Amino acid sequence: MEADLVEEPNGTGAGRALTRRLSTDPDTVERDLIKLVLTIVELLRQLMERTAVHRVDQGDLGPEEEERIGMTLMILQERMEELCARYGLTMDDLNLDLGPLGSLLPRDPAGR
């Protein structure tokens, strides 16, 4: 799905207002939907990872908990990469540009 800005006259005749129109292509709906879902999952994965690192730094987790969380996050990362490959996406494709706010997902220093 792609949002296009189109100019349409407003009801007052005082000028033109920009409105959003959603263009959908039946051939790409599945890929676009999976891209949106994977973007949300990646955002949550990164938040969980930061929370886990913070808890480890604070000493809130025992060694077994650290190991379990680490393995879970590694498996989730692998599944994300597999799903991206399956749908012809890269992890960079999941990063939405929010204009002046920057990108939705922070750049991963490891280059993933």
- Region 49-68: mean pLDDT is 92
Query: Above 50 in pLDDT, residue 112?
Result: no
Query: How high does pLDDT run on average in the chain?
Result: 76
Please name which of 3, 103, 90, 111 lies closest in space to residue 43, comparing C-alpha atoms: 103
Percent of the chain with pLDDT over 90: 32
pLDDT at 75 exceeding the cut of 70: yes
- The residue ranges of every structural domain in the chain are 28-96
pLDDT tens figures, 18-43 = 344 445 677 778 888 888 899 899 88
**Distance in angstroms (rounded) separating the CA atoms of residues 49 and 17:** 42
Mean pLDDT of 60-66: 91
Exposure of 46 by Cβ count < 10 A (0-12 exposed, 13-18 middle, 19+ buried)?
middle
